[in-house]
Structure 1
Amino acid sequence: MRKMCLLGIAISLASSCAWAQTPSVALEHKAAFITDLMNRMTLDEKVGQLRLISIASDMPRELIRTEIAAGRIGGTFNSVTRPENRPMQDAAMRSRLKIPMFFAYDVIHGHRTIFPISLALASSWDMEAIALSGRVSAKEASADSLDLTFAPMVDIARDPRWGRTSEGFGEDTYLVSRIAKVMVQAYQGVSPALPGNIMASVKHFALYGAVEGGRDYNIVDMSPTRMFQDYLPPYHAAIDAGAGSVMVALNSINGVPATSNTWLMQDLLRKQWGFKGVAVSDHGAILELIKHGVAKDEREAATLAIKAGVDMSMNDLVYGKELPGLIRSGKVPQSDLDNAVREVLGAKYDMGLFKDPYLRIGNAEDDPADINAESRLHRAEAREVARKSQVLLKNESRTLPLNKRANIALIGPLADSKIDMLGSWSGAGVPAQSVTVLEGLRAAVGKPGTLTYARGANVTDDQAVVDYLNYSNPNMLDLTNDPRPAQAMLDEAVKVAQQADVIVAVVGEARGMSHEAASRTDLDLPATQRALISALKATGKPLVLVLMNGRPLSIGDQVQQADAVLETWYSGTEGGNAIADVLFGDYNPSGKLPITFPRSVGQIPSYYSHLRIGRPFTPGKPGNYTSQYFDAPNTPLYPFGYGLSYTDFSVSAPQLSANTLKPGSALTASVTVKNTGQRAGETVVQLYIQDVSASMSRPVKELKNFQKLMLQPGEEKVVQFSIDEDALKFYNTQLQYAAEPGEFNVQIGLDSQNVQQTSFQLL
């Protein structure tokens, strides 16, 4: 039976909710309510609130419910339906104090409906589209009884060898910070206590995207100025937006693991930034302090983590085993335990669970008959966002858009892969419900046009790679190879291609190749796919490459072979239809890269906002004794912010409303943008600023604003950007955040390289 609790009145002994076992304060007074509840909790009940248990762990469900009823579990994750979670909440309502459970899950880029991966969302540069993906995700997750998502992931990623590049929003501090705010607000709405909203847990705090060598779980060694200037702002933006939780990173920071890092968790997060939410360890991270070499045993690991400010222990037994004894012995102060419990209870309060433990679980009679019913999906929204997330990288001789009446050869190992369309961390998404490129093109091609398909190659024939990718998830294989000989598949593809007017080759990575624990030492396409592309090029037919991948790839040779290249990333449930929309011109691509594409792995790290140096390489000038690689071009394959359209745009030279800027005031930078092509289209106008001379080396340029606008053929608009002192501030060597007087260059263009410049003085 569903139990309800009363809001805003003193709770009586007769109430069904446990905190009413003795007279207490009104539920509407959060701090007093939680203090009153804590005063009635035993030591074991307090420790129990700090345990976050995975339903996928070795603990049987019956034992989990027994532990919950005994007050020894505070929350769970990896159960994603009402029938799964209702019995656990029932168990909590049988506990002595009836403190409600919360239920969490990784809702990263969709729940039932899968949207494009986060890196693709960032490629849209469209805050409304990104917010739409978050709102739909929250609604679907809430409808499945989930209270919290471990998202958004806002780690700055500048080394694409790191597999989790796919899970974040790219390389740029400003862009990722904007998206962090949008996603938190989309998940939580006006309040995470309302139905349809869920709490956001921003991750991974902190600096996880800077792991050395791009190798997952590795160390991070970074100067304080780089931390504060480049890597910390997105987390801060998410917290300023009201994120109710943070997930602590697995990496160490300058030798101290984040899970035991008092400076990170206490001094910075809580004292400097004022964070009041719940801090959750990553999976098994407290126990891993022993392997980090900072704790000699589980007892010391628990001590370090609780003192650092890690409130909840995810999927290990360390807190449950060790904290009661540590408290009783005085090794851990009672205040450290109480602080953590207060944050956990506060998060549950903010989720609305004390008011109604069944807020998102609902009544059994209202459970969906089929959790995967088509009626529960949001296909139109997913298709719209997926269209906006694609980036046109090359389009020689107007190869695209395709003619629906043409004879098209669709070839490639990813052209008909439902599971790969979903991408990494696809949550509760069902591969069978995704639309492949083959299905999307079949639905769109017109008469008398034809579409002929051949696989052409496997993603890779390296059996060691296949075995590795399939090891972690044997029930849903990430990579299933065609058993036919490679030459037989290649011959079939060439035969199909020779009979076509145009070839569309869908190539890239299997989704498991761009995932957690999927770091790579090279960024080339696998050899099987390179051979396929060369064979298709040899037919002499126009060749369109459709990329499916979760990181930048070094595809310089393949770009040279192709007539057109469309970056689609992993586009989600409606990916095939969205890709068909772009290929056939029903939608004009408008995406821009949120991360630099290097020419080779040897250029890594390759990002646009690097610091200025004393001997810079200048393209077109002699390179001897300048900072360069002498054996390859030094420019990226594709720069940050790059992306083409089926139409053309011009941007005028920037004009400033004033040549000087006084502290406390603002000036306006303006450009006129014109659609000089033959069809309507969107583009992203980007504002960069360069600090010409400062007390320390500053980046060659930094993104400070952007606007996405739609223009009809021949239409022009004036785009204005306001620039104030805050846009010029940076963290100096004393970690003071301030702007310094002097000259600043204003650069405006359609990507980070093709800009026009003017300047002003800050007085």
Structure 2
Amino acid sequence: MKKRNLFVVAAVFCSVVSGAQTLPYQNPNLSAKERAADLCSRLTLEEKAKLMLDLSEAIPRLGIPGFAWWSEALHGVGRNGYCTVFPSCIGMAASFDDVLLERIYTAVSDEARAKNTAQRKKGSVGRYQGLSFWTPNVNIFRDPRWGRGQETYGEDPYMNARMGLAVVRGLQGPAGHKYMKLYACAKHFAVHSGPEKTRHHFDIENLSPRDLWETYLPAFKALVQKGGVKEVMCAYQRFEGEPCCGSNRLLRQILRDEWGFKGLVVSDCGAISDFWTPGCHEVSPDAASASAKAVISGTDLECGNSYKALPDAVKAGAITEQQINTSVERLLEARFELGDFDPDSLVEWTRIPESVIASKAHKKLALDMAREQMVLLHNKNNTLPLAKNASDIVVMGPNAADSTMMWGIYYGQPTHTITVLEGMRNKLGSGVRYVKGCDITSMTESESIFGRMTGLDGKAGMTAKFWNNTDMDGQPVYEGNYSSHPQFDTGGNTVFAPGVELKDFSVRFNGNFTVDKTETLCVRYLNDGRIRLIVNGDTLVNRNNKNEVRLNERRIKVKAGANYSVQLDYIQFGNGASLSFDVSRMQTLTVPGVLKSVGDASTVVFVGGISPNLEREEAKVTEPGFDNGDRTSIELPLVQRELIKALHDAGKKVVLVNCSGSAVALTPELETCDAILQAWYPGEQGGTAVADVLFGDYNPGGKLPVTFYKNDSQLPPFDDYNMANRTYRYFKGEPLFPFGYGLSYTTFAVGEPSYDASTGKIKVKVGNTGRRDGVEIVQAYMRNTADAEGPLKTLRGFARVELKAGETKTVEIDFPREAFEGWDAQSNAMRVVPGRYDIMVGTSSADKDLKRISVDVK
């Protein structure tokens, strides 16, 4: 959207205020629905098609500004400059604190609105800068191998619903306001959780009705009917033969007819082109017929470009203009609700100041959540908390000093990230020793010097210019500075930078650095397309990988005191793009050498696990144990396992801080580690939170939102969506750590629960029987005793209880009649079947941690 288009809108509404303008859609006093219907009637068919794309072009003749539908706020405003970066969603789920979660997403929506207002004043709003945010992800994390499971709130339908509702409330703002604060989006509808590699052609067939209605749909239903979520995103894969974005069963029968959804359905990015692209679903012959199928089924907005062919579809008789009008009116109504057409003076949310962005108050929220989401898994002989003795502790591991690991995926740019190493040194002083020891999957030590380079603008890192052509010709469409090494991938139709197209584009990085010692540096680059590496004017690499993605290395000898200029050119051809680039010091390590570096320190804090570079959406990775962003094994990478064992055998006390977005099989580590802390991807304040827990300045209280299995053999086939033997609800084996599990530095006692059907509440006494103040998360599960095919148990309520040492409280947990709802095979529907039910209350989903009572439900 150009500045002149904003001026057109401003002029239009100046006349509205003065009373001179009489067109109904320009009247802020009319309802959004009335204004949308009027404006739709004035549009041409071609204009309507443009408004149905995620990057909707401006239509100056009617005063319609451009609009960017795709923005990200997975755990903080994403891909739009500086923001507060909160912990990963799976980590925040471990807090079992939906009250804090709502406060966090209220902060996120404040930052998002402030950013949008500032951008509007600049005269253009591009992708990731809008008011429609495609979060939360409430898919069921049914299998720990799924690389995107970290985006969800775990494996339980109730948990996903409750946390998802808090996200929606925080993003969309409170009721009773004329304008919506933002639009939130429940995704990916439905039955979606990998594999990433096959999602563009995979068909989920023969799923039992019970699993569909009892596991995969409840969170979506809750967000639609209870949360008033404004958008729902349809998924990539097929369901019962139809692509989800073209499924009458999902989008019309269930979503709109049964649930009464009145909002928008948006496509996942590129999902419509999957209808007709060879090698994908291939259910439609071309873009026009695919677009008609999607719109008729109920997909109002496309993230992609296929809907440009809608006028052709009308001419071919595949769809009527009236059917298109239904979607266009919904889209326009949404924009009127957000105040997009109205001057800022009328929209109260535009008064949120930019000072809220990455503010101290928001950083405090990030720290609060980082602390709450820590889960203490193992604490042999009360190893933790540690004594504050810097000389006796060595910090080690591939994730100890990695700031980008802390951010997870779909992240923004924090003003500063406190790594675990920095958090430890802030706690004990700069004398805390650091030995990296290994990388994630190899016995190497790499130290990036990317941040020591200086870009053309004088800032740390490299300067980048992007063009929407392959000749690097003309004015760049985006220029920016990258202080950490770039890692780009268009998986999920994610553009490299705002305004950059998904194909046929190019980028040039420039940087300079002065060498402090003579050595050999390693340049590592992963790419498809063409790449050129030029150092001091000499072309060292000029290679075209076409559509093949490769990881390559190039060694460069440098001399102390010399200055080096580095230029990296990347040219993308066709579809799909990947680029990763770094300049590092790299050396091969040995276990004896690492042990020698540790010296006589008695305690090693090993910060390991995996990385969001490896587990994420359609990642192009070549590391063992990972495939296209998913995991092929849930075991801790072998190199870390062997190094930890060597440290243990050498007599060291080993504290493992496991960073991951999913469950890791840590069975051997129960023997080789004295303590294990699950830190997830803990956000920009994560290093402080880890140190606070390790040294006892914060008593951990987080609980697992997913089952931690013992090993790979306990997992069913990844592509089997039936729930048999999956998650705590159906798993019949013995897990390593059960859902809802987490230790504390104090102890708790849970009394016998009681249930009052007239009030719909459970009451139970909970006491802190230890010497430290702490938080216990009391969990309530239910089971229909007559339902032999149903879940072993299923979560239906929880409460966080803060207790001082020696204190006892009576806790109430809401447990209304609807909490007994389950699948009824006789009526083929979800309902409360009268009969005998077990209510189980305790501190985890394990039977030994639960107190059980039986109740009769009428």
Q: TM-score by structure 1 length?
A: 0.83
Tell me the equivalent position of 1:339.
326
Does the alignment pair 1:326 with 2:313? Answer: yes
Separation in 2, partners of 1:574, 1:389? 12
Quick check: 1:469–1:512 contact (8 Å CA) kept in 2?
A: no
Deviations 1:152-190 (A, max 9, x none): 000011111110111111000111110111100010112
Separation in 2, partners of 1:229, 1:709? 29
Tell me the equivalent position of 1:758.
853
What amino acid is aligned across from residue 116 of structure 1 in structure 2? Answer: P
3-state SS in 1 of match to 2:203: coil
Quick check: 1:417–1:436 contact (8 Å CA) kept in 2?
A: yes
Quick check: 1:543–1:563 contact (8 Å CA) kept in 2?
A: yes
What amino acid is aligned across from residue 138 of structure 1 in structure 2? Answer: S
User: Could you tell me how far 1:731 is from its partner in structure 2?
Assistant: 2.7
Does the alignment pair 1:493 with 2:594? Answer: yes
Quick check: 2:84–2:357 contact (8 Å CA) kept in 1?
A: no
Quick check: 2:443–2:589 contact (8 Å CA) kept in 1?
A: no
| Closer, same or farther: CA 264–683 of 1 in aligned 2, 3 Å | same
Separation in 1, partners of 2:363, 2:180? 18
User: Could you tell me how far 1:49 is from its partner in structure 2?
Assistant: 0.7
Quick check: 2:778–2:842 contact (8 Å CA) kept in 1?
A: yes
| Closer, same or farther: CA 480–187 of 1 in aligned 2, 3 Å | farther
What amino acid is aligned across from residue 312 of structure 1 in structure 2? Answer: L
Quick check: 1:606–1:636 contact (8 Å CA) kept in 2?
A: no
| Closer, same or farther: CA 6–404 of 1 in aligned 2, 3 Å | farther
1:221-236 alignment, distance < 5 Å: 221=205, 222-236=207-221
3-state SS in 2 of match to 1:761: strand
Quick check: 1:498–1:539 contact (8 Å CA) kept in 2?
A: no
| Closer, same or farther: CA 400–214 of 1 in aligned 2, 3 Å | farther
3-state SS in 2 of match to 1:751: coil
3-state SS in 2 of match to 1:259: helix
User: Could you tell me how far 1:510 is from its partner in structure 2?
Assistant: 1.7
| Closer, same or farther: CA 5–476 of 1 in aligned 2, 3 Å | farther
3-state SS in 2 of match to 1:550: coil
The structure with more strand, counted as a fraction of residues: 2
Tell me the equivalent position of 1:425.
410
| Closer, same or farther: CA 194–395 of 1 in aligned 2, 3 Å | farther
Tell me the equivalent position of 2:49.
47
| Closer, same or farther: CA 273–442 of 1 in aligned 2, 3 Å | same
Deviations 1:577-636 (A, max 9, x none): 1111111111110100000011112212599xx9899xx9xxxxxxxxxx97xxxxx301
Quick check: 1:7–1:27 contact (8 Å CA) kept in 2?
A: no
Quick check: 1:656–1:670 contact (8 Å CA) kept in 2?
A: yes
Separation in 2, partners of 1:650, 1:295? 60
Separation in 2, partners of 1:52, 1:685? 43
Deviations 1:526-554 (A, max 9, x none): 22212221121122121100011111011
| Closer, same or farther: CA 13–741 of 1 in aligned 2, 3 Å | closer
User: Could you tell me how far 1:352 is from its partner in structure 2?
Assistant: 1.5
Structure 2 unaligned residues grouped into runs of 5+? 1-5, 78-82, 117-129, 445-523, 528-548, 553-575, 619-628
Which range is displaced more, 294-303 or 354-363? 354-363
Of 91, 102, 105, the residue aligned with 1:131 is 102
Q: TM-score by structure 2 length?
A: 0.74
Separation in 1, partners of 2:810, 2:169? 30
User: Could you tell me how far 1:33 is from its partner in structure 2?
Assistant: 1.6
Which range is displaced more, 42-51 or 22-31? 22-31
Separation in 1, partners of 2:332, 2:853? 53
Quick check: 2:821–2:832 contact (8 Å CA) kept in 1?
A: yes
| Closer, same or farther: CA 194–475 of 1 in aligned 2, 3 Å | farther
| Closer, same or farther: CA 749–352 of 1 in aligned 2, 3 Å | same
1:348-387 alignment, distance < 5 Å: 348-356=335-343, 378-387=362-371
Quick check: 2:824–2:833 contact (8 Å CA) kept in 1?
A: no
User: Could you tell me how far 1:558 is from its partner in structure 2?
Assistant: 1.8
Separation in 2, partners of 1:429, 1:388? 22
Of 624, 637, 642, the residue aligned with 1:531 is 642
Separation in 1, partners of 2:658, 2:585? 20
Tell me the equivalent position of 1:160.
144
Of 732, 736, 741, the residue aligned with 1:637 is 736
Tell me the equivalent position of 2:772.
679
1:698-717 alignment, distance < 5 Å: 698-717=790-809
The structure with more helix, counted as a fraction of residues: 1
3-state SS in 1 of match to 2:587: coil
Of 575, 583, 586, the residue aligned with 1:483 is 586
Which range is displaced more, 454-463 or 302-311? 454-463
1:178-577 alignment, distance < 5 Å: 178-190=162-174, 197-209=181-193, 211=194, 216-217=199-200, 218-221=202-205, 222-240=207-225, 241-290=227-276, 291-316=280-305, 318-320=306-308, 322-356=309-343, 378-406=362-390, 407-426=392-411, 428-430=412-414, 433-445=416-428, 450-461=431-442, 483-487=586-590, 490-517=591-618, 518-577=629-688
1:565-644 alignment, distance < 5 Å: 565-605=676-716, 634-644=733-743
Deviations 1:488-518 (A, max 9, x none): xx44431243421311000011212221121
Deviations 1:716-752 (A, max 9, x none): 1112334442121223223333222221112111000
User: Could you tell me how far 1:40 is from its partner in structure 2?
Assistant: 1.1
Separation in 1, partners of 2:289, 2:156? 38
What amino acid is aligned across from residue 323 of structure 1 in structure 2? Answer: L
Tell me the equivalent position of 2:754.
655
What amino acid is aligned across from residue 132 of structure 1 in structure 2? Answer: R
Quick check: 1:138–1:196 contact (8 Å CA) kept in 2?
A: no
What amino acid is aligned across from residue 36 of structure 2 in structure 1? Answer: I
Separation in 2, partners of 1:399, 1:588? 14
Deviations 1:439-485 (A, max 9, x none): 11100116xx94110000011239999887979986665x9876211
Separation in 2, partners of 1:177, 1:255? 27
What amino acid is aligned across from residue 413 of structure 1 in structure 2? Answer: P
3-state SS in 1 of match to 2:159: helix
Separation in 2, partners of 1:656, 1:14? 64
3-state SS in 1 of match to 2:94: helix
Separation in 2, partners of 1:745, 1:442? 49
Structure 1 unaligned residues grouped into runs of 5+? 54-72, 75-91, 617-626, 629-633
Quick check: 1:116–1:571 contact (8 Å CA) kept in 2?
A: yes
What amino acid is aligned across from residue 453 of structure 1 in structure 2? Answer: Y
Separation in 1, partners of 2:551, 2:265? 32
Separation in 2, partners of 1:7, 1:465? 51
| Closer, same or farther: CA 739–93 of 1 in aligned 2, 3 Å | closer
What amino acid is aligned across from residue 420 of structure 2 in structure 1? Answer: V
What amino acid is aligned across from residue 356 of structure 1 in structure 2? Answer: P
User: Could you tell me how far 1:336 is from its partner in structure 2?
Assistant: 1.3
Quick check: 1:469–1:513 contact (8 Å CA) kept in 2?
A: no
User: Could you tell me how far 1:331 is from its partner in structure 2?
Assistant: 2.2
Separation in 2, partners of 1:339, 1:348? 15
Quick check: 1:458–1:481 contact (8 Å CA) kept in 2?
A: no
Separation in 1, partners of 2:660, 2:638? 16
Quick check: 2:54–2:68 contact (8 Å CA) kept in 1?
A: no
Quick check: 1:425–1:515 contact (8 Å CA) kept in 2?
A: no
Of 32, 35, 56, the residue aligned with 2:34 is 32
Separation in 1, partners of 2:550, 2:13? 50
Separation in 1, partners of 2:282, 2:443? 35
3-state SS in 2 of match to 1:705: strand
Quick check: 2:180–2:337 contact (8 Å CA) kept in 1?
A: no
User: Could you tell me how far 1:266 is from its partner in structure 2?
Assistant: 1.2
Separation in 2, partners of 1:525, 1:415? 16
Separation in 1, partners of 2:25, 2:438? 71
Separation in 2, partners of 1:197, 1:482? 47
Deviations 1:60-89 (A, max 9, x none): xxxxxxxxxxxxx35xxxxxxxxxxxxxxx
Does the alignment pair 1:741 with 2:819? Answer: no
